[in-house]
Structure 1
Amino acid sequence: MFSVFPTARLRPSPFYQSAVAEGLVAASIYNRMIMPTSYGDPEGEYWRLINGVSQWDVGVERQVQLKGPDAGKLAQILSPRDLSECKVGQGKYVPLCNHRGTIINDPILLKLADDLYWLSIADSDIWFWAGAIAAERGLNVEVSEPDVSPMALQGPKAEDVVAHVVGDWVRGLKYFWFKETEIEGIAVAVQRSGWSKQGGFEIYLKDGSKGTQLWNIFKEAGKPWGIGPGAPATPERTESGLVSVGGDTDDMTNPFEVRLGKYVDLDVPDDVVGIRALRRIKAEGVKRHQLGLVLEGDTPAPLGFQREDIMSNGQRIGMMTNCVWSFRMKANIGYALVGAGAKVGETVQVMRAKGPVTARLVELPFL
């Protein structure tokens, strides 16, 4: 039985009661909310994502809403990615950076109208930052947190389930594009997206009082495809090379170091936050890069609470930022954030709690 005591500082999502009813046994804290991470069968939840369809409570992915005449201008000031061609109904992955070029969040930006944008954020207080930038630039825009909470359907059979509920039009949605609609009178936005590489959708619920109802609609619709609960905390994200900002990054990491350089457009206007620093970093050359690690050993040994040092020839060259047992590779795998001189194929030592473990540096993604 999973017990929690919500307070004004720790909120459940609109899908929380549904997650508990599904057998929730573990959760984490994300954006000051409860994020389900396990339903008691990690391997079963993993294979459901790989082979079928998994239903996730990701209401912790809060929205930062930009509304007003200068909403588009603020969105571009916050983003080192060129948004000039972004259309209504389109989403874009955006690595937000501070003035030093350090990545601080990596939301999906959704353009709902010329004067209305959402930033579907990872874990950090982007509301305060966006509001401060808007105020100091004198922009006519309101920054707020709307009553919007995503639920994800992920896996190769997710499209069939979502199409069964909303119609076959959803099969034509391009990646990160979305459409606003209603499901049994419940206002939602349906986007092809999600924190896995197995395919799927995020359903943005616009009325928090309808969380249980919406969950049950998809749960019932998904029964023919073997739907069941899951969470984004599976080995699949590591196997697939997905970055967790704040987990795989530190307070000095720039987008180029963690394979996100393709989402940075260095010719955006000079008033974009961090762009001058990013141009300088690129010109000087990146000092670190992210590689994969395959550790020796045949016993699952996930990462603890601390990042672990990586050594080569007696010298510290970086750190392992995550580690998880891969059910497909039958090995412990993780990410290395290491000096640019570290190369694929190199053998290193990871300084684990129980002693050094030999590992091999490899390209990402693993699979």
Structure 2
Amino acid sequence: MIDSVSAPQLVCSPRLRRTPFSRRVEAAGVKAYTVYNHMLLPSVFRSVEEDYAHLKSAVQIWDVSCERQIEIAGPDAAKLVQMSTPRDLTRMQDDQCYYIPNVDAAGRLLNDPVLVKLSDDRYWVSIADSDMLFYYRGLATAAALDVSVFEPDVSPLAIQGPSADKLIERVFGEDIVNTRFFRHQRIRVADVDMLIARSGWSLQGGFEIYLDGSKHGESLWDTLFEAGEDLDVRAGCPNSIERIEGGLLSFGSDMTNEHTPYEAGLGKYCQLDAASACLGCDALSSMSAPVRQIRAVEIDGGKPPALTEFWPLHDRSDSIVGRVSSAAYSPDLNKNIAIAMVDRAHWDEGTSLYTRLPDGSRRDVSVRRSFWV
């Protein structure tokens, strides 16, 4: 968190990509970035806590261009996508978005993207932070599939918060507001057809516009801000406090290539009989009873420091039984909340553990039954 960490400057270059909205983000006063898919992702505007409070009360525009799209098009498009996920895709409709775990042949997680179906032979894979473009190209080549795999000039812009529906209705009409969750429709932006989905990486509700053509980015941004001025619209970004409250996992932090979907709590997306074409299905068939799993935990004491490395979890005999991967103080809950990977023998609700922070201090930890929201 920018409030508690003094970090060195981030030096930009052509290999660390800016976005179609970067100039507007900078004009809005961004204070910190992280790097995600080799691209800038804003992480703080005013402060983490002030951004959190505003997200829950108004509406924010998020530059999430870093959620890069992998377009998979051609007669074997559905086959290629199914090879990468244990979620059954056979019933997916042309206006749907699916959350899918991507796994390798060993059943380990590679990514957790949102899959956008455009037609039976055309998909966008909206990826989390790993180089899945090369994985899909490698699979397609090895299997001699009739597909094109490339990154289109498509950059998501999220509209999140309680007033998101009002803002979208003003700009695009009531019919778009009536879009169901994880469904998408077409809109016109600068006389270009673009896609809008009811989705986003928050629990506050909203939409994601898939900007098709970087040159239209700033005009779209300006249109939304002009329409939402009286709604207290602000530039924002995914918020660590809000996403921990709701149990929104971050690939690369809360789950990595060390883990299976079952360990990440994603077992409901492993439909192994129907998705038998997935390369990881055989391995996953013996993994449905994990020995460790994601849990919500609470941490005693004062506001925790920024978590920049995993914090080990210990039982009362000092054995390591897991690790904390995300942590924050929640102003609304008035407690320290966290996400942890916990061994089976210690993951029951109410189990008392402890962690040690980077400064060596000890904090008691309690395992919860579920996340807070």
Q: TM (normalized to structure 1)?
A: 0.96
Measured against aligned partners, the alpha-carbon deviations of 1:297-338 in whole angstroms (never above 9, x if no partner) come to 2x3223432101000122110100111111111122111101
Matched with 1:310 is 313
Q: How far off is 1:364 after superposition?
A: 2.5
Corresponding residue to 2:82 among 76, 82, 91: 76
Q: How far off is 1:186 after superposition?
A: 4.0
Corresponding residue to 1:348 among 333, 350, 353: 353
Aligned residue identity for 1:280: S
Measured against aligned partners, the alpha-carbon deviations of 1:205-230 in whole angstroms (never above 9, x if no partner) come to 00101111111111111112111111
Whether the aligned pair in 2 keeps the contact of 1:98 and 1:274 (CA below 8 Å) is: yes
Matched with 2:120 is 114
Tell me, which stretches of 5 or more residues in structure 2 are unaligned? 1-7
Matched with 2:158 is 152
Structure 2 residue 70 is the aligned partner of structure 1 residue 67: no
SS at match of 1:17: helix
Q: TM (normalized to structure 2)?
A: 0.94
Q: How far off is 1:188 after superposition?
A: 1.9
Which shows bigger deviation, 322-331 or 262-271? 262-271
Measured against aligned partners, the alpha-carbon deviations of 1:155-174 in whole angstroms (never above 9, x if no partner) come to 11101111111110112211
1:244 and 1:346 mapped to 2: Cα distance? Answer: 24
Whether the aligned pair in 1 keeps the contact of 2:59 and 2:161 (CA below 8 Å) is: yes
Residues 167 and 278 of structure 1: is their aligned pair in 2 closer, same or farther, counting only changes over 3 Å? same
Corresponding residue to 1:45 among 45, 48, 51: 51
Residues 240 and 339 of structure 1: is their aligned pair in 2 closer, same or farther, counting only changes over 3 Å? same
Structure 2 residue 124 is the aligned partner of structure 1 residue 124: no
Aligned residue identity for 2:332: R
Aligned residue identity for 2:128: A
SS at match of 1:257: coil
Whether the aligned pair in 1 keeps the contact of 2:110 and 2:256 (CA below 8 Å) is: no
Aligned pair count?
363
Residues 179-258 of structure 1: matches in 2 within 5 Å?
179-258=185-264
1:142 and 1:9 mapped to 2: Cα distance? Answer: 24
Aligned residue identity for 1:170: I
SS at match of 2:146: coil
Measured against aligned partners, the alpha-carbon deviations of 1:29-60 in whole angstroms (never above 9, x if no partner) come to 00000100011332221111111111111000
Structure 2 residue 146 is the aligned partner of structure 1 residue 140: yes
Measured against aligned partners, the alpha-carbon deviations of 1:222-248 in whole angstroms (never above 9, x if no partner) come to 112111111113300000011111110
Whether the aligned pair in 1 keeps the contact of 2:20 and 2:218 (CA below 8 Å) is: yes
SS at match of 2:130: coil
Matched with 1:170 is 176
2:119 and 2:205 mapped to 1: Cα distance? Answer: 26
Corresponding residue to 1:321 among 318, 325, 342: 325
Q: How far off is 1:3 after superposition?
A: 8.0
1:30 and 1:185 mapped to 2: Cα distance? Answer: 30
